[in-house]
Amino acid sequence: MNALKDRLIARIARLGPLSVADYMTECLLHPTDGYYTTRDPLGRAGDFITAPEISQMFGELLGLWLAQVWMDQGAPSPFVLAELGPGRGTLMTDALRATRVVPGFHAAMRLHLVEASPKLRAVQGDRLAAYAPVFADGLADLPAGPLFLIANEFFDALPIRQFQRQAGGDWSERMIGTDGESLIWGLSPPAPIAALATLGDIAAGQIVETCAPAEALAGEIGRRIATQGGGALIIDYGARDSRGDTFQALAAHAHVDPLAAPGQADLTAHVAFGPIAQAALPARASAICPQGVFLERIGMTPRAEKLARSLGGAALQSHIAAHKRLTHPDEMGHLFKVLALTPEGSPLPPALDPGPP
């Protein structure tokens, strides 16, 4: 029994196939049957685990990085501290604990959380109650003023479309149709697509992905930061460009068929950072940096050693494993990338090279 699947099959039979973007939106955010609307998917007992859930060091170091960018811009007061998709609120809890030592930071900070899931809003509201967070549906809801923003594993949940190059150079969109009982893959008739026309290096049969909502969001963030000051730190798995099929479904920490059980698995795609940096103009984009390099540059090893002094036995082993998991190139260190946006003319953000990506 899967009510969402039945409804999607009925809808496709009536109105025709869905793009991957339409499918992702329905599966992730449907008001009653969506993946994020109905559960807390994070942690060992859930479907996936994220960096802040692996170690407190992640949120601590990111919080101190943001506070440094705030100080570099003259410590504006008040300022908006915003997180996109805060999950269980762990990253922000750790960031705010670490920044208690930064003079004036907490007094000037107004905390705003952009979150679609009522379930996760409740968790975040509990964990961060001391900071009186204000919930928002999107960037447009945030008050004016300097904006310091963080987004970890948020952009990967934004709906993508997939296009496959055809022999003549035109593109077919990968669509989701039905045989009456199951959801099945199909291709739209080939057509030219202006936005993809410049991609000369894609062979026939290859797939590229586009994410218009990510670019629109980056544009909003970039315009705000360029005109009102602030900085954004975007972290996710991906690369500069989109190449190949990266659409994936995770349930209980394993890859599953994304069409098998709509609303029951997390659906994501790799983030293409190049188009995000481009869309964020006139804000200045940093070069894209692998997460492991970034975390080491902002002091993860000294922080890890300090924490290790009070640990022993299994707790020490798991602390060492967490450090490795976040930074080692074979684990999250290379696949995950970091991109910063700051105003043109402001000091360069700590630990990141100047762009273009």
Q: Does 63 bind ligand SAH (CB under 6 A)?
A: no
142 sits near ligand SAH (criterion: CB under 6 A)? no
**Comparison of 62 and 226: residue with beta carbon closer to ligand SAH:** 62
Is residue 50 within the footprint of ligand SAH (CB under 6 A)?
yes
Q: Assess 116 for contact with ligand SAH (CB under 6 A).
A: yes
Distance CA 279, CA 222 (A): 8
Distance CA 329, CA 333 (A): 4
- 85 vs 238 by CB, closer to ligand SAH: 85
CA distance 212 to 291: 24
Assess contact for 171 and 123: CB atoms under 8 A: no
Backbone angles phi, psi at 173, to 5 degrees: -85, 135
Q: State yes or no: residue 26 binds ligand SAH (CB under 6 A).
A: no
Kindly identify the residues of this chain, within the stretch 151-170, that bind ligand SAH according to CB under 6 A: 152-154, 157
d(CA 225, CA 283): 6
Closest alpha carbon to 231 in 57, 72, 60, 56: 72
Return all residues near 230 (Cβ < 8 A) that are at least 6 apart: 69, 73, 79, 80, 146, 147, 148, 149, 224, 342, 343
Number of neighbours of residue 40 by Cβ within 10 angstroms: 16
**Candidate segments 11-19, 148-156, 220-228, 301-309, binder of ligand SAH by CB under 6 A:** 148-156
Q: Which of 26, 33, 115, 236 forms a contact with ligand SAH (CB under 6 A)? A: 115
C-beta of 217 vs 280, nearer to ligand SAH: 217
Q: Does 67 bind ligand SAH (CB under 6 A)?
A: no
Shortest CB 194 distance to ligand SAH, Å: 26
Find out whether 144 and 106 touch, Cβ atoms under 8 Å.
no
Scanning 9-17, 67-75, 116-124, 315-323 for contacts with ligand SAH by CB under 6 A, the matching segment is 116-124
- Residues 34, 52, 258, 263: which binds ligand SAH (CB under 6 A)? 52
Taking CB under 6 A as the rule, does residue 85 contact ligand SAH? yes
Taking the complex as a whole, the smallest distance from the CB of residue 30 to ligand SAH amounts, in Å, to: 12
CA distances from 136 to 89, 113, 154, 324 (A): 14, 6, 15, 34
- DSSP string covering 161-206: EEEEE-TTS-EEEEEEEESSSSEEEEEPPPB--GGGTT-TTPPTT-
- Coarse DSSP helix, strand, coil percentages of the chain, rounded to the nearest 5 percent: 40, 25, 35
Q: How many positions of this chain bind ligand SAH (CB under 6 A)?
A: 19
- Interface region with ligand SAH, contact rule CB under 6 A, candidates 147-155, 309-317, 334-342, 349-357: 147-155
Query: What's the CA angle centered on 131, arms 128 and 133, to 5 degrees?
Result: 75
Q: Which of 117, 162, 286, 291 binds ligand SAH (CB under 6 A)?
A: 117
Between 33 and 153, name the residue whose CB sits nearer to ligand SAH: 153
Return the residue of 18, 42, 96, 149 that touches ligand SAH, per CB under 6 A. 42
Name the residues that contact ligand SAH, by CB under 6 A. 28, 36, 42, 50, 52-53, 85-87, 91, 114-117, 120, 152-154, 157
